[in-house]
Chain A
Amino acid sequence: MATTRTALSRAALALYGMAAVTLAATASSAFFLWARHASPGMAVAAALPPSLVLGAIALASRFLCNALPLRSASRSSIAIGHAGSAAAASGLWVLTWKSWVPALNAQIATQHLDPDYSLLFALGVMLYVAAVAVHYLVLEIEALREAEDEVLRYRVLAREAELRAFKAQVDPHFLFNSLNAVASMCGSRPLEAREMAQRLADFFRLILRLGALERITLAEEIDLVQRYLAIEQVRFGDRLTTHIDVDEGAAACMVPPLLLQPLVENAVRHGVASMVEGGTIDIKATLEDHMLRIVVDNPADPDRTDARGEGIGIENARGRLSAVSEGRAMLQAAEAEGQFRVVIELPR
């Protein structure tokens, strides 16, 4: 933030300074003309040097504005800070007038200037306030732009995480093994083979459709998971049992798509598949106090060899979850006594 705030280009600052000087000069010349004290030439000649001083002060007031940001500094400290600074700036401006006007009067015999310094002081304060107002306006615009950049950056991050997750979504060996099961059933159980082919196609179509969405209901995600498990059921037979319990409130919650599917795939691949006798995958989702809680339980052989893949799957899920929830969600994975458990907590 600070870097971009001070990174306002030199050209912009120069422009701002010139504008401030012109404003101050115009205002004070007008002041003389209005008071019929002087010719236009004399008025401008008198106004220019003090205006240069005030222009420099106006430019410098940017530092004070930076130090007293509208959003975070207290109202009183902003008021006191700028009141003091305005008095000092205007005092300096009047001082310049006071030393410059007698010198000018001495040079030019035909006209004599006798400005009302208290009025000039008031004008100085007004000009200072205008300068500060412009600074705050610019800072505010910069902050807005910064916030937009932030949102954009965050979106890109979320997209990337999504893409990574999507790539890791479905293990190609799941497809190879399932196709082998289809091939196997073609001979003896052609109707079942046809059904399995259909299920596979539906599953992949659903993955593509849901994956393209920003958010889906948990009910939709659970439907996907059930389709996946139904296919695995054909391969694993009695070794795989599943138990899914989702309460009504939880089913209606919005979740990032394909959040659960890779975790359930892990539960099959590294969990049930690692057990000779197989086991049960237990999925529970509840909504309590605006907190969606999803728990996936499965048995896993503590001595299984390939533990790398599952770690990546969980890391991906965690990354995506924090990207979509801005860090408010939590994913925990723990293993104890042959049971593997993943817990997700996502504020509604």
Chain B
Amino acid sequence: MIRVVIVDDELPARELLREFLAADEDCEIVAECANGFEAVKAVAQHDPDLLLLDIQMPKLDGFEVLELLDRSPIVVFVTAHDEHALRAFEVHALDYLLKPLSQERFQQVMERVKRAAGHDRQPVAGLATSLRAKPLQRIVVRGEDGAIQVVPVSRLDYIEAADDAIRIATSGTKLRKQQPISAIASQLDPDRFVRIHRAYVVNLERIEKIELYAKDSRVAILRDGTRLPVSRSGYQRLKELL
């Protein structure tokens, strides 16, 4: 039995998927979600085999949902936007359905899904991050309690490395995310965010001043008083921008 989660912010679109799936005896719908938040929750709760995922949705789009998943169901995107097709395959989505949906095409995709189910799959989460549109406009984080935070990059103060994870400092709080700092640094707008140190990426707008504190070592002082170390190459990068 293939256990399916349907995600689409439009009711008629969900109804059509429901109808197509009802004709397939091997499928069972375990959840229907109207937005990305519900989708992340439903996947964590039901551990489905298949995620039928819309891309354009409020708050969290389809790609951001994938980034937040800690399990890796088979993903099939369902969207009216064919310009996302390439990216969909890059995040290892199994397939891609265009609206308006064709039942024949849907059945073909379900055959593929059944062949793929049970095989080991490449995890989708994580990979999605590196393939999001650049430069990154917002960062999605899932807290320990499962709550999802969406942080627009304009509200980002700085990011610090913590082992193989990062801590994102934004208006006084720090959010932890499982992702190497190099991955996020390469996605941020290079004109607004600078890697001032191996372990720090800072929002240029937050820097109050740079102080020399020992021979060859400097410190960046942010508007809120935070002091961050600046390496020699980090200082070079800063100088080029300022």
Residues on A with C-beta less than 8 A from B16 are 180, 183-184, 187
Question: Interface range on chain A: under 10, 10 to 19, 20 to 34, or 35 or more?
Answer: 20 to 34
Residues on B with C-beta less than 8 A from A239 are 9
Knowing A180-B16, A180-B99, A183-B100, the reply to whether A305 touches B9 (Cβ < 8 A) is no
Question: Is the Cβ of A184 less than 8 Å from the Cβ of B152?
Answer: no
A142 at the B interface (CB under 8 A): no
Q: B82-110 vs A: 1/0 string, CB under 8 Å? A: 00000000000000001111000000000
How far does the alpha carbon of A181 sit from the alpha carbon of B59 in the complex, in Å? 22
Question: Is the Cβ of A187 less than 8 Å from the Cβ of B137?
Answer: no
For chain A, residues 194 to 221, give those with C-beta under 8 angstroms from any C-beta of chain B.
Answer: none
Question: Is the Cβ of B99 less than 8 Å from the Cβ of A176?
Answer: yes
Knowing A188-B19, A273-B9, A303-B150, the reply to whether A180 touches B58 (Cβ < 8 A) is no
Q: A231-255 vs B: 1/0 string, CB under 8 Å? A: 0001111010000000000000000
Residues on B with C-beta less than 8 A from A305 are 61, 133, 137-138
Which residue of the partner chain, among B19, B35, B101, contacts A276 with CB atoms under 8 Å?
A: B35
B12 at the A interface (CB under 8 A): yes
A185 at the B interface (CB under 8 A): yes
Residues on B with C-beta less than 8 A from A187 are 16, 19
B10 at the A interface (CB under 8 A): yes
How far does the alpha carbon of A184 sit from the alpha carbon of B152 in the complex, in Å? 35
The residue of chain B having its C-beta at the shortest distance from the C-beta of A278 within the complex is B58
Question: Is the Cβ of A180 less than 8 Å from the Cβ of B101?
Answer: yes
Which residue of the partner chain, among A176, A182, A234, A301, contacts B59 with CB atoms under 8 Å?
A: A301
How far does the alpha carbon of A286 sit from the alpha carbon of B81 in the complex, in Å? 38
Residues on B with C-beta less than 8 A from A275 are 58
How far does the alpha carbon of A276 sit from the alpha carbon of B57 in the complex, in Å? 8
How far does the alpha carbon of A156 sit from the alpha carbon of B148 in the complex, in Å? 52
How far does the alpha carbon of A234 sit from the alpha carbon of B12 in the complex, in Å? 8
Knowing A176-B80, A305-B133, the reply to whether A182 touches B58 (Cβ < 8 A) is no
Question: Is the Cβ of A179 less than 8 Å from the Cβ of B58?
Answer: no
Q: B10-27 vs A: 1/0 string, CB under 8 Å? A: 111101100100000000
Question: Is the Cβ of B58 less than 8 Å from the Cβ of A276?
Answer: yes
Question: Is the Cβ of B19 less than 8 Å from the Cβ of A184?
Answer: yes
Knowing A173-B80, A177-B99, A183-B100, the reply to whether A188 touches B15 (Cβ < 8 A) is yes
B187 at the A interface (CB under 8 A): no
A274 at the B interface (CB under 8 A): yes
How far does the alpha carbon of A24 sit from the alpha carbon of B58 in the complex, in Å? 85
Question: Is the Cβ of A180 less than 8 Å from the Cβ of B13?
Answer: yes
- Residue from A183, A184, A235, A274 whose CB has the most chain B CB atoms within 10 Å: A184
B56 at the A interface (CB under 8 A): yes
Question: Is the Cβ of B12 less than 8 Å from the Cβ of A181?
Answer: yes
For chain B, residues 13 to 55, give those with C-beta under 8 angstroms from any C-beta of chain A.
Answer: 13, 15-16, 19, 34-35, 37
For chain A, residues 25 to 50, give those with C-beta under 8 angstroms from any C-beta of chain B.
Answer: none
How far does the alpha carbon of A237 sit from the alpha carbon of B10 in the complex, in Å? 8
Which residue of the partner chain, among A182, A188, A274, A303, contacts B138 with CB atoms under 8 Å?
A: A303
For chain A, residues 267 to 320, give those with C-beta under 8 angstroms from any C-beta of chain B.
Answer: 273-276, 301-305
A-B contact list, 23 entries, CB within 8 Å: A173-B80, A176-B99, A176-B100, A177-B99, A180-B100, A181-B10, A184-B12, A184-B16, A187-B16, A188-B19, A235-B10, A235-B12, A273-B56, A273-B58, A274-B58, A274-B59, A276-B37, A301-B58, A302-B152, A303-B59, A303-B152, A305-B61, A305-B133
B positions within 8 Å CB-CB of A: 9-13, 15-16, 19, 34-35, 37, 56, 58-59, 61, 80-81, 98-101, 133, 137-138, 150, 152
Q: Which are the 5 A-B pairs with shortest beta-carbon distances? A: A184-B16, A176-B80, A181-B12, A180-B99, A184-B12
A positions within 8 Å CB-CB of B: 173, 176-177, 179-185, 187-188, 234-237, 239, 273-276, 301-305
